[in-house]
Structure 1
C-alpha cells in the first residue's frame, strides 16, 4: 500500500475516532415522566329477593297464586341478559303418577301486580324446564328489562302467577304430591363499545 493511501486511511480513522468521541460527549436537554396506571375489574352481582319465591301447601286444581320478587343489580356493571334455568323434582305420594306434575303447573310471567292480565310469557313448568336459558331471556326478561337491561344499583320487580291447571279430568294421581322448584338466575354483562 502506498504512502498516500496509508496517510489517507490514517486521516479517515482519526476523523472517525474524533466524531465518535465528539458524539459521545454531545450535550442535549431531556425530560421524562412516569405514569402510574390501574386496571380494576367491575363486578356483576345479580340478587333475587326474596330467595324463596313460592311455598304453598294444599293446592288444588283450578287454584292460582301470584308472587312477586325483585331482580337486583348490586354490582358495578350493567346486566344485559338474565338467563333462567328451571329444574324441579316431584315427590309422588302414592306412586301412581302417569303424568308429570310439572305439566299441570302453569307459570305466567306478568308485567306487574296491578295489571294481572298483561302476560309477558305463559308456559308450564315442564315446558319451562325444557327451554334453553337464552330462550327464556328472549321471552321473559328482554320484554321486562327492555333494551337498557338492568343498570348498576337498580332493581326490577317480577311478578309470577302459578296456576294448578284444572283440565276437567280426573287428577287424583296428584293428591299428596309435592313439586320442589329450583330457579337459577344467571346474569350476563352488557357488551361495551371500545373507548
Structure 2
C-alpha cells in the first residue's frame, strides 16, 4: 500500500473515530407522545307542532277558540330562554277601520301542561306585539322553570277571543288578521365540561 493510501486511510479512520466520539456526546434517551382533541358544537333547534295554531273564519264578537301546540327542543343543547316575537297584519275589508283589529283579539296563555295548570298570562295581540321579546318559557309566563331541555317538548294551551266590548264593532266585518309568532331559542351560559 502506498504512503498516500495509508495516509488517506489514516485520515478517514481518524474522521470516523471523531464522528463516533462526537456522536456519542450528543446521544440521549428520548420518547414522544401525541394527544388529539375534537370539538363539536351542539345545536339549538326549536319547533312548534303544529306550525299553524289557528285558522278560523266567520268570527263574531264574543267567539273564542282554544288550541294547544307543542313547543319542542329537537336540538342537542338545553334552551334557557324562548323569546316570543309577535307580528300580525290586518286586512281591512271595507277600508273603514278606525281601530286596530289586534286590540280586540285577546290572548290567554292558559298553561304549559308540562309545568303549570293555571292561567299564566292574558293580553291582547296588539299589546303582545308591542312587548319586547317576552320569554315564552319563563316562570310566570308559560310556567317553565328551567327552560326547555334537549329532546323534550312542552304542550302549550292558548285561547284566542274576539272580545265583545259591548260597543259597535261593525268596522271589523269582513276583516282578517294574519298572526305570526316567532319563537327564538337562546342557550344558557357556558359551563365547565
The TM-score with structure 1 as length reference comes to 0.80
Q: Which residue does the alignment assign to 1:79?
A: 79
Q: Which residue does the alignment assign to 2:167?
A: 169
**Alignment partner of 2:174: what SS?**
coil
Q: Following TM superposition, by how much is the alpha carbon of 1:22 offset from its aligned partner in structure 2, in angstroms?
A: 6.9
Alpha-carbon contact 1:81-1:187 (below 8 Å) kept = yes
Structure 1: which 5+ runs fail to align? Answer: 1-20
What aligned pairs does 1:93-132 form with structure 2 within 5 A after superposition?
93-112=93-112, 118-132=118-132
Partners of 1:111 and 1:71 in 2: CA distance: 13
Count of aligned positions: 169
State which of 138, 144, 150 in structure 2 corresponds to 1:142: 138
Partners of 2:41 and 2:129 in 1: CA distance: 34
What aligned pairs does 1:18-33 form with structure 2 within 5 A after superposition?
25-33=25-33
Is the alpha carbon distance of 1:45 and 1:145 closer, same or farther for their aligned partners in structure 2, counting shifts above 3 Å?
farther
CA RMSD of aligned residues (A): 2.0
The TM-score with structure 2 as length reference comes to 0.81
Q: Following TM superposition, by how much is the alpha carbon of 1:185 offset from its aligned partner in structure 2, in angstroms?
A: 1.0
Partners of 1:141 and 1:112 in 2: CA distance: 9
CA deviation profile, 1:68-95 (whole Å, cap 9, x unmatched): 1011111100001101111111111111
CA deviation profile, 1:3-34 (whole Å, cap 9, x unmatched): xxxxxxxxxxxxxxxxxx97982433221111
Q: Does 1:40 align with 2:40?
A: yes
Q: Following TM superposition, by how much is the alpha carbon of 1:99 offset from its aligned partner in structure 2, in angstroms?
A: 0.4
Alpha-carbon contact 1:46-1:187 (below 8 Å) kept = yes
More helix per residue: 1 or 2?
1
Structure 2: which 5+ runs fail to align? Answer: 1-20
